[in-house]
Copies of this chain bind each other. A is one copy, B any other.
Amino acid sequence: MATIRDVAKKANVSVATVSRVLNNKGYVSEEAQKNVMAAIESLSYTPNSVARTLYNKSSGMIGLVLPDITNPFFPELARAVEDVAHTYGYTVVLCNSDEEVAKEKKYFDALKQKYIDGIILTTSSLTSKDYDRLDLPMVALDRRIGDHIPTVVSENKQGACEATEHLLAKGCRYLAHLRGPEGVKTADERYKGFMEVVEQHGVEHVVLNAEFQIDKAEAVAQELFTTYSQVDGVFAGSDVTAAGVMKAAHTLNKRIPADIKLIGFDGIPLGKMLVPALSTVEQSIYKMGALSARLLIKQIEKQPMASMYYELPVKLIARETT
C-alpha cells in the first residue's frame, strides 16, 4: 500500500503538505493541492488509520458491551448502533460480557488499549466508580449507571401501567405478573407500574419472578396456573417470558386468550411470530440504539447534548393474546 511518503514524492512536495490537504488544515497553494490530489488518485492512496490513531489517540471505534447478543432484545439494538456508527464513520467492536465482572474489565482494558473512542453499555456489572475510572465517553443504554452518564431507556413504568390497565379493560379480574430479575432497573420499573395499577384498582394479584428466561418462565407459569387457578390475566415482564407462559398454558390446556389473557413487553420480532400473536408493550428498540450511538458520538466530538436522560415512549400493541 502506498504511504504518505510516496504521495509526497510523486507530487513533489513534503509529507507535511500532503498531510495538510488530507486533513484540509493549514494553508496549501492551489497548485500543490492539485498535484497532491493527482498523486493520491494515481497511487490510489488511502491514509493509514493506525498511524493516525497512534498520533491522535483516537481510533474511530466504539465499543458495544452487552450481556449476550443471543438474547433477542439485543440484535436490533446492535444493528441500530452499528448503522449510526457506520454513517458517522465509526466502527463497532462487539463485546458479550455475560454480566461477568472479570470479562467486562478485561474488555475495557483491551478497548482502552486500542484507543477506543467511547463505549455503549447495556450492562452494569461494575460499580459506578469503575466506569468513571475508564475516563471515556459512555452512554448507558437500557440501564442506569449514574446521573453523570447519559442514559437512554424506555418508559418502563408507564408501559407496565398501560399493559395492566389493558388486561383490566379486557375483563381480567385476577392478575399475575411474571417479573424480571430484582435489581435490574427495567424489571423493577415494570413491577412498580403493575403494582401501582392493581393497588389503585384493588384487584387481586400475584407476582412471581421469571428472570426474563423462557425456561424459567414456563416452569413458573406452570406453577402459577396450578396454584392460582383463578388467574385470568398475565402481564409478562418480557416477550420471551410471555413465550414461556404460552408454552405452559398449552401444556395445561389453558386457552389464550379465552381462558387467560396475556401481554408481554419489548416488542421483539418473536411476538409477531407466535400463534396467537402476542400483545405487548413495544419499545422503540432501534430508536434507543440509534439515539445512544448519536449521543456517544456527540460526546466524542465534544458537541453539546440537549439532555443527559432520555426516556423513550412505549406503545401498547394489542394483538391476539388479549
- List the interface of chain A (C-beta within 8 A of B): 46-51, 53-54, 59, 61, 64, 68-70, 72, 74-76, 78-79, 82-83, 86, 91-96, 109-111, 113-115, 214, 240, 243-244, 246-247, 250, 269-270, 272-277
Contacts and interface: CB of A to CB of B under 8 A. Distances in A.
The oligomer's copy count stands at 2
22 contacts: A46-B109, A46-B113, A47-B113, A50-B113, A64-B94, A69-B69, A69-B79, A69-B82, A70-B79, A72-B72, A72-B75, A82-B94, A83-B96, A91-B110, A91-B114, A94-B94, A214-B269, A214-B272, A240-B273, A247-B273, A247-B277, A250-B275
Given A69-B78, A91-B93, A113 B49 contact: yes
B95 A82 contact: yes
A299 B267 CA distance: 41
A34 to B, nearest CB: 24
Contact of A50 (B46, B50, B68): B50
Contacts of A50: 50, 53-54, 59, 113-115
Contacts of A70: 75-76, 79, 269
A115 B46 CA distance: 13
Given A59-B50, A92-B93, A75 B83 contact: no
Contact of A214 (B69, B79, B94, B273): B273
A3 to B, nearest CB: 12
A115 B47 CA distance: 12
A115 B277 CA distance: 47
Contacts of A72: 72, 75, 269
A287 to B, nearest CB: 14
